[in-house]
Amino acid sequence: MDTFSHVVMGVGLGTLAFIDPLVADHSTLSHAVMLGTVIGSNAPDFDFIYLAKGKGSYFRNHRALSHSVLLLPLWSIAISGSTYFFFPTASFPHLFLWTLLAVMLHVFFDLFNVHGTQVLHPFSKKWIAFDSLPLLDPTILLAHFLGFILLPFFDPGKVFLIIYLFIFLYLAVRTLSTVLTKRKLNCHFRNSIRIKLIPRITLLNWDIIIETNEDYLFGVYSEGSLLIEHSFSKKIDFPELVSNSKNHPAVSDFLSSTQYAYPFVRARKNGYFIFWKDLRFRSNKFFPTLVILWISSDLKIKNDFIGTLHSLKQYKQVIKDLNKTITLNEKPPA
């Protein structure tokens, strides 16, 4: 889920806490719990601090240890303890439990989108993703906003108890439809190595990646019908160059963040561009999340880029800047 959704869910959980009689009867505790749930709903994403070490470090560490089962209680203790400092008359056990619920639901819902998390870190660095929810789900947001509208007229705790029962039912429907769709596709594409479903906003609609031994197929699955829009061969140009590129820190960081990275090489007169692209994120034939290495004709890595490009114009500018840097570096001294 995106940051805005996590904030909204934090407010929703703080309102749900009114089903707890002690929270409902004590304004100080209710304020403390609201603060704890809002911060707790966003705490695992505090791993953005890795950006201080560069985008590569963020790619490697986002949704890793910060989203692991080991850190759930630690986040909760840190947040509820800090909040309790400002609300010393609040009941700490209640504050801790509601904050813990907020942290747990953050990680829980992140498991159901295309990114997933390394929830078992450090015991396992495997990415777990159930591919049921889009990164921003308007149905979940609208359910919360409906609940906020109803607050002046009904009991807050009961309103959001119903809201969250609906959200979990909605999540169950989306997850079941994902499982059944993947099972159907696996039966049809018996030679596939793996099939990845990328959920769209609308129910029963996915972008699809089908990997075989020879190629990747990209398409859209909508209400029982599959349309293949694009494909490319898995044959890699300049395989030794690609293999060596994996040792570069930016590529290594990128590869640790996704199981769906694939390399493309473009030869130029004065060198090579190597593109490692995350195939999960696609707009037509454009893959915006990637790492780019610029390698000179003497096979020395001169420059790199890692991140997400939001437009073709931005992509062209990055390529231009990488080229410009090489041209400047290779100018002979005056």
In order along its 334 residues, the chain shows pLDDT tens digits of 889 999 999 999 999 999 999 999 999 999 999 999 999 999 999 999 999 999 999 999 999 999 999 999 999 999 999 999 999 999 999 999 999 999 999 999 999 999 999 999 989 999 999 999 999 999 999 999 999 999 999 999 999 999 999 999 999 999 999 999 999 999 989 889 999 999 999 988 999 999 999 999 999 999 788 999 888 888 888 889 999 999 999 999 999 999 999 999 998 888 899 999 999 998 877 899 999 998 888 888 788 899 999 888 888 888 888 877 555 444 433 3
124-131, Cβ contacts within 8 angstroms, sequence gap of 24 or more? 125/64, 125/256, 127/258, 127/259, 130/175, 130/178, 131/178, 131/182, 131/196, 131/197, 131/198, 131/199, 131/206
Residue 333: predicted pLDDT: 37
Q: Are strands 215-222 and 205-211 parallel, antiparallel or unpaired?
A: antiparallel
Q: Is the dihedral of CA 199, 204, 207, 212 positive or negative?
A: positive
Beta-bridge partners for 198: 207
Secondary structure class of 200 (helix, strand, coil) = coil
Residues constituting the chain: 334
Nearest to 301 by CA among 237, 260, 256, 242: 242
Cα radius of gyration (the chain): 23
Residue 334: predicted pLDDT: 37
Could you tell me how many helices (H) and strands (E) the chain has, helices first?
11, 8
Burial of 219 (0-12, 13-18, 19+ CB in 10 A): middle
Q: Structural domain boundaries of the chain?
A: 3-166, 189-233, 239-329
Q: At what angle do helices 27-40 and 3-16 cross, to 10 degrees?
A: 150
Burial of 63 (0-12, 13-18, 19+ CB in 10 A): buried
Query: What's the CA angle centered on 77, arms 74 and 81, to 5 degrees?
Result: 150
Nearest to 282 by CA among 230, 319, 237: 230
Residue 326: predicted pLDDT: 53
Separation CA 15–CA 98 (nearest Å) = 11
Give the Å distances, CA to CA, from 321 to 91, 303, 304, 326. 56, 10, 10, 9
Find all residues with CB under 8 Å of 182, minimum gap 6, and list them: 131, 195, 197
